[in-house]
Structure formats: C-alpha cells, structure tokens
C-alpha cells in the first residue's frame, strides 16, 4: 500500500458506520454491523496479499488458477474491542492465525503496559493485520506494533473503524511503514480521549457494558 492512510468510502461501509454512530442503536445491531463492516474493510486491507497459481481441474479442462501464496496471514486483536473486528474478519479468512495483545494505561505514567501477549509463530513470514476499532491517541496501537516488531513482524497493516488525526499522526511518527485502513477520519479527540464525533466507547457498545 502506497498511502499511509486509506479511508474506505464505499457506500455500504459509510451507511453501516452511520447507524453504528447513532446512540439509539442497540448492542445487537451494533455488533452485527461491526461484523459486516469488518468484512468490507478486510477486503480492502488484504488487497495486496501475495498470489501464486495452482494447477486444478475444472469440469472442462485443466488451468493454472490463482491462490494465496505463502504462510497464512496473522490477525492480531488489541483487547478487548479488537475482538469485534476480529470475529467478522475470521468469517472471511477462516484459516488466518490469530494473536492477542492486552494493554492497559498506567495511571501515573499514562504509558501502555502489557498484561497479555500471545501471537502466532513465524510472524516475519506473514502479513500481520492489527485490528482495533478506535485509533484515538495511537499510543496503545503504536505500543502493540512495537511488540509485534520485536516478535519479528515485518509486513504490518493496521485496521480500524474510526481514526482521529492525533492517532494517525502518532502512528506515522512511530511506524511510518504500517499502512492504516479505516472507515472514517474524524475531527479530533476530546479532553477525555474520545474520538469526536465518534461513536462512544466501542467496547461498551459492542458488549453492552458501561
């Protein structure tokens, strides 16, 4: 991907996102739309997967048909909201390998601290797609990608639903080699670190917590 930021402007993505933003939208509908939108975004973020060919027999004749090359890709969910994007993507890419990164923010230093980390092996040979619905400050995303690079990941992409300009700038500074795919670039972060206009707390909205 040449661009650092790709905003997926497809009408279906934009329509579903609008319903997700609305505060009256129920948990069940939010979750279903997130599943659907994640598949449309997955289409965009996997566009450059490497291909090869395999000799197959159709009912009429043999042909060299295109298939994915190399190792299975790795989907890495940043807990907990990343799991909402992950679920839909796994329906589309059922053989993907899956990893999880859990980070919390230290109250004193405000820096992300790791509490869980489990990722597939051979990350250096896979396309690695990191998923988190909200790219807000970008601190946890940048920290998660630091960890993945330490584990050998080289071909990384970041997929989110909404991005704030602050988060995009932070990622560009920390990981200029990691393209970002999102459904929308919103106005800004508010004083509480929420994306505005945004959709609220993505984890709360998908799991029905407060």
Residues that bind ligand URA (CB under 6 A): 81, 134, 136, 193-195, 198, 201-203
- Stated as kind and residue range, the H or E segment containing 182 is strand 180-182
Instruction: Determine if residue 31 is labeled as part of a ligand binding site.
Output: no
Look at the block and give the residue holding tokens 């869980």: 116
57 is catalytic: no
Which CB sits closer to ligand URA, 41 or 81?
Answer: 81
99, 156 contact by CB (below 8 A): no
1, 179 contact by CB (below 8 A): yes
Which CB sits closer to ligand URA, 93 or 145?
Answer: 145
109 is catalytic: yes
Instruction: Determine if residue 64 is labeled as part of a ligand binding site.
Output: no
Least spacing, CB of residue 21 vs ligand URA, in Å: 11
35 is catalytic: no
Least spacing, CB of residue 189 vs ligand URA, in Å: 7
- Stated as kind and residue range, the H or E segment containing 116 is strand 112-118
Instruction: Determine if residue 209 is labeled as part of a ligand binding site.
Output: no
204 is catalytic: yes
CA 112 to chain centre: 18
Which CB sits closer to ligand URA, 93 or 183?
Answer: 183
Least spacing, CB of residue 139 vs ligand URA, in Å: 11
CA 113 to chain centre: 20
Question: How many whole angstroms separate alpha carbon 64 and alpha carbon 139?
Answer: 45
Q: What 8-state DSSP symbol labels residue 124?
A: G
Residues catalogued as catalytic = 105, 109, 201, 204
Annotated binding site: 80, 105, 132-140, 195, 200-202
């Amino acid at each position: 991907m040449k661009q650092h930021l790709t905003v997926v402007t497809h009408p279906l993505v934009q329509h579903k996102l609008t319903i997700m933003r609305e505060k009256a939208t129920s948990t069940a509908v939010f979750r279903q739309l997130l599943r659907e939108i994640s598949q449309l975004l997955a289409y965009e973020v996997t566009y450059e997967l490497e291909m090869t060919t395999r000799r197959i027999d159709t009912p009429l004749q043999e042909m060299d048909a295109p298939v994915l090359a190399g190792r299975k890709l790795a989907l890495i969910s940043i807990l907990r909201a990343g799991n909402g994007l992950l679920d839909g993507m796994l329906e589309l890419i059922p053989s993907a390998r899956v990893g999880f990164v859990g980070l919390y923010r230290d109250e004193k230093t405000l820096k992300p601290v790791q509490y869980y980390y489990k990722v597939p092996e051979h990350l250096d040979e896979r396309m690695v797609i990191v998923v988190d619905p909200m790219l807000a400050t970008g601190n946890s995303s940048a920290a998660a990608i630091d960890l993945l690079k330490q584990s050998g990941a080289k071909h990384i992409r970041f997929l989110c639903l909404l991005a704030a300009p602050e988060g995009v700038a932070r990622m560009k500074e920390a990981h200029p080699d990691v393209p970002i795919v999102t459904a929308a670039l919103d106005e800004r972060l508010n004083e509480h670190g929420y994306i505005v206009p945004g959709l609220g707390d993505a984890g709360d909205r998908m799991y029905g917590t407060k």
